[in-house]
Chain A
Amino acid sequence: MRSISPISRRTFLTRSALAVGAVSGSSALLAACGPGASSGGAATTAPSAPVTLNVMQRHVQSLVGSPALSKENVIAFEKANNCKINWLEFDQVKLNASLVAGDAPDLVRIEGAAASIPYIAARGLAEPLDDYFAKATYAKTDDLADITKVYRYDGKQQGQGPIYGMPFDYSQDGMLWYNKKLFDQAKVPYLSDSDPITYDQLLAMGKQLTTSQGGKIKVFGVDPCYGDVVFHAQLMQMIAQQGYSLWNSDFTKADFTTPAAKKALQWFVDWGQAHVGPGPLDPNPESWDGPLYQENRLAIVEYGYWFNGQVTLDANAKPTPDFAAQQGFAPAPQMGTTRVDACRSATGMWIPKKAKNKELAFKFLDFWYAGPQSQMHFKTGQGLPPLKSQLALLPQDGINKTFYDVQQKNLANLSVLSFSPYVTAAAMDSVLTTNLNNAIKGQMALNDAIAAMQKQVADLIQQGRDQVGS
């Protein structure tokens, strides 16, 4: 019988730890050598090996091959630049982890850029792109539309300073689309294409337009907020329309207790409790209210010009002239006498400072957003272009001319809201939605909801200031 030498517990633990360390080390080594690793540095990449460009976008499965980005153009770019584009589905948690790990994608989508650019710029996460634009092939600095200012931040104020990205398109997001057929059925007069209505008028119209059948709502009157309760950008606009601001001058305090803010918040509570839109008391089972509108079950939505593509084209980009003919487009409603009709989003892309292929990333951004590739997107009227020279591409045939004219008239009222660098848009929206939901459902009084918002946002701002160091 063989003799056995017993192993002590200490020896076992020591050797296990060594084994774990060996496994971890070899995993890291394998990851560095693996196919997922970005090979940006010239010193470590064979000259003939294509560079992997990591682009993080949404709906990547359907993106390439859509009017927004043709497959042929992607292949042509890859061939011309000896690269391979690796499409990553946008995920905020994954993005955060990659930024912390120093393994950031090369190009990242930003939705609600208007609200998020100060946040990422203040934390030194984004690469300033002024020098890149100076050398751009298509997106020349003097051709950039005013909307690109939302991507500028000088450390204190949004709208000035270095530019940190580029919008793909934009809209004046508060403008109203309305279904004339439903207006005719309810005998409600159409909206003016140049003079805005008030929010009180909007709510009254919503009540007239809402119809029920068998105890269920058949047609909703108005959805003012993308199918959600409220975005803080929208609240900021409603307060600005009354001549006030949600934020103080250095964005270290948000005040929900002013009469202007209370008036705006009360309006949302009234809207929610009036059962005139897909809100907390009447939720919409769809993921957004576009399908409701397209099914003639929603009379007014507060979307911007980009919704043009949803009313004039079907899912296969085929024209829908009958449906388009019954649509109307009007300026954003106003809560006060100061005309504010802002862009709240300006979805686009930015380049992380830690990206490995920044030059190539900008080249692709330039090619996609400003090059010949972008023409198809703007010809279908899916948003306003970031370059002045692209404005002429917007569709102006038939019913599109009507929408174009309304938009052109309203562009004069375009303004840029400024957002705080201390708190994310998602956090602000979460605080607002949670507390307003409770108020709409009658679970807390509006004043208590406002007090809760005030406290929670102050907390978030302090957290942000601790991190940014101001």
Chain B
Amino acid sequence: MTLSTKEAGMHPGQGGHVVAPGRRRRKWVRYSPWTFYLFVSPWVIGFLALTVVPLLFALLMSFTNFDGLTDTWHWVGLHNYQRALQDDLFWTSIVRTLLFTGVAVPLSIAGGLGLALLLNQRIRGVGIFRTLFYLPSVVPVVATALMFRMAFDRDLGFVNLIIEFFHGHDIFWLSDPMAFWVLIMVMLWGLGGGMVIFLAGLQGIPTELHEAAALDGANAFHKFRAITLPLLSPVLFFQMVVSMIFTLQTFIQPFLLVEGQGSASGLTDTSNVPRGNYLYMVHVAAQYFSFQRYGYGSALLWILFALILLVTLLIFRTSAFWVYYEVDRDKSA
């Protein structure tokens, strides 16, 4: 039953606002929309100037043969996009990137969820464990990759030292075929970030449901499958989309994991990246920095954008079958 203002003991204050008895009248001030726009303008201006404008510039560049150096460029229409279809390395790098994403994303989601399940218990020191597992995800990606490179160096890395201690043979971790798996390990280093999100999702699941299930004889697995997973599915959905988008754009780690001195050209040289780590963004970097093909590189980036959009849409479409929302969605929407 809905109480009227009077029945609820409220009394009207100034400006028509109701105030509970015994409480001071709060002065609400309604600002004009300009205040809102003023506060959001730094972000909007930054977004327009630093994201939208470069995106549009890259789109324009993708229709030219701009070399990033001279102003003797020409309009080439869809030539760069057609070139991509005939570029063997384009296809191999896309397949490799999809394979990499197909391995890294499920592992990182499963790992993050697993850690969250373990740490969603009332045990002594759980806060310390949560901190310890979360800390690696705040280490900058460059530091992480360099650390892995040192650890997996064939001659000087401690991983091979441990193997030698057990009388094993040195493994060439940073070259094919193991380089791919080291890259996967680098990606899994940041499991703590996903763990925190899953933890928040787990703590939103009412414990009464688990208790009721336990009373009905459900074991841990049944509870996980029938209660936890469905109620966690929106978080899983979010993690899947975000992880997939980031993993498809993996760029800096393959360069940093190159063992040895590589070329004197430095970080932007792609020629020493192992084949297994020659991902799509490495191929894009090669176009820009090794071959001065700014137009073609921009076209490749827009193709990646389209691919990410397509995969995201696919995931959204399938979500109707496996994502459970507690609140009924408006069927007319």
Interface residues of A (CB under 8 A from B): 1-2, 4-7, 12, 15-17, 19-20, 23-24, 92-93, 96-97, 99-100, 123-125, 215-216, 226-228, 278, 280-281, 283-289, 424, 426-427, 429-431, 433-434, 437-438, 441, 443, 460, 463, 466-469
- Closest CB-CB distance, A86 to chain B, in whole Å? 22
Q: Are B271 and A289 in contact, CB atoms less than 8 angstroms apart?
A: no
Q: List 7 contacting pairs A-B, 8 Å CB cutoff, sorted by A.
A: A1-B15, A19-B41, A228-B264, A281-B175, A426-B290, A434-B271, A441-B176
- Given A285-B261, A287-B261, output 14 extra A-B contacts at Cβ < 8 Å: A16-B45, A23-B45, A93-B68, A123-B69, A123-B72, A125-B70, A283-B154, A283-B261, A285-B259, A288-B264, A426-B290, A429-B271, A437-B271, A463-B67
Q: Are A289 and B155 in contact, CB atoms less than 8 angstroms apart?
A: no
- Check: B292 CB closer than 8 A to any chain A CB: yes
With A4-B30, A19-B41, A100-B71 known to touch, is A426 a contact of B265 (CB < 8 Å)? yes
- Check: B220 CB closer than 8 A to any chain A CB: no
Report the bound CA distance from A2 to B33 in whole Å. 12
* Chain A residues whose C-beta falls within 8 Å of the C-beta of B41 in the assembled complex: 16, 19
Q: Are A99 and B69 in contact, CB atoms less than 8 angstroms apart?
A: yes
> Could you say which interface size class chain B belongs to?
35 or more
CB closest chain-A residue, reference B258: A283
With A1-B15, A4-B33, A441-B176 known to touch, is A466 a contact of B261 (CB < 8 Å)? no
Report the bound CA distance from A333 to B32 in whole Å. 81
Q: Are A4 and B70 in contact, CB atoms less than 8 angstroms apart?
A: no
- Check: B49 CB closer than 8 A to any chain A CB: yes
Q: Are B69 and A284 in contact, CB atoms less than 8 angstroms apart?
A: no
With A285-B156, A289-B261 known to touch, is A427 a contact of B72 (CB < 8 Å)? no
With A285-B261, A424-B292 known to touch, is A467 a contact of B45 (CB < 8 Å)? no
- Closest CB-CB distance, B141 to chain A, in whole Å? 20
Interface residues of B (CB under 8 A from A): 15-16, 30, 32-34, 37, 41, 44-45, 48-49, 65, 67-74, 153-156, 169-170, 174-176, 259-265, 268-272, 275, 286, 289-293
Q: Are A467 and B155 in contact, CB atoms less than 8 angstroms apart?
A: no
* Chain A residues whose C-beta falls within 8 Å of the C-beta of B68 in the assembled complex: 93, 96-97, 100
With A100-B70, A463-B65 known to touch, is A284 a contact of B261 (CB < 8 Å)? yes
Q: Are B176 and A443 in contact, CB atoms less than 8 angstroms apart?
A: yes
* Chain A residues whose C-beta falls within 8 Å of the C-beta of B289 in the assembled complex: 92-93
The 10 lowest CB-CB distance pairs between A and B, nearest first, are A283-B260, A433-B271, A430-B290, A434-B271, A430-B271, A283-B259, A123-B70, A96-B69, A96-B68, A227-B261
- Closest CB-CB distance, A159 to chain B, in whole Å? 23
Q: Are B265 and A466 in contact, CB atoms less than 8 angstroms apart?
A: no
Report the bound CA distance from A427 to B271 in whole Å. 10
Q: Are B291 and A430 in contact, CB atoms less than 8 angstroms apart?
A: yes
Q: Are B169 and A215 in contact, CB atoms less than 8 angstroms apart?
A: yes
Report the bound CA distance from A466 to B265 in whole Å. 25
Q: Are A468 and B72 in contact, CB atoms less than 8 angstroms apart?
A: yes
CB closest chain-A residue, reference B170: A215
* Chain B residues whose C-beta falls within 8 Å of the C-beta of A24 in the assembled complex: 49
Report the bound CA distance from A444 to B2 in whole Å. 78
Q: Are A285 and B153 in contact, CB atoms less than 8 angstroms apart?
A: yes
- Closest CB-CB distance, B77 to chain A, in whole Å? 14
* Chain A residues whose C-beta falls within 8 Å of the C-beta of B48 in the assembled complex: 16-17, 20
Q: Are A466 and B74 in contact, CB atoms less than 8 angstroms apart?
A: yes
With A19-B45, A434-B270 known to touch, is A7 a contact of B33 (CB < 8 Å)? yes
- Closest CB-CB distance, A428 to chain B, in whole Å? 10
Q: Are A1 and B271 in contact, CB atoms less than 8 angstroms apart?
A: no
Report the bound CA distance from A228 to B154 in whole Å. 18
Q: Are A441 and B65 in contact, CB atoms less than 8 angstroms apart?
A: no
Residue from the list A15, A100, A434, A466 in contact with B69, Cβ < 8 A: A100
* Chain A residues whose C-beta falls within 8 Å of the C-beta of B261 in the assembled complex: 227-228, 278, 283-289
* Chain B residues whose C-beta falls within 8 Å of the C-beta of A4 in the assembled complex: 30, 32-33
Q: Are A438 and B275 in contact, CB atoms less than 8 angstroms apart?
A: yes
* Chain B residues whose C-beta falls within 8 Å of the C-beta of A427 in the assembled complex: 290-292
* Chain A residues whose C-beta falls within 8 Å of the C-beta of B33 in the assembled complex: 4, 6-7
Q: Are A467 and B67 in contact, CB atoms less than 8 angstroms apart?
A: yes
Q: Are A216 and B72 in contact, CB atoms less than 8 angstroms apart?
A: no
Q: Are B268 and A460 in contact, CB atoms less than 8 angstroms apart?
A: no
* Chain A residues whose C-beta falls within 8 Å of the C-beta of B30 in the assembled complex: 1-2, 4
* Chain B residues whose C-beta falls within 8 Å of the C-beta of A123 in the assembled complex: 69-70, 72
CB closest chain-A residue, reference B174: A283
Report the bound CA distance from A170 to B170 in whole Å. 41
Q: Are B272 and A437 in contact, CB atoms less than 8 angstroms apart?
A: yes
Report the bound CA distance from A290 to B218 in whole Å. 67
Q: Are A93 and B268 in contact, CB atoms less than 8 angstroms apart?
A: yes
CB closest chain-A residue, reference B270: A430
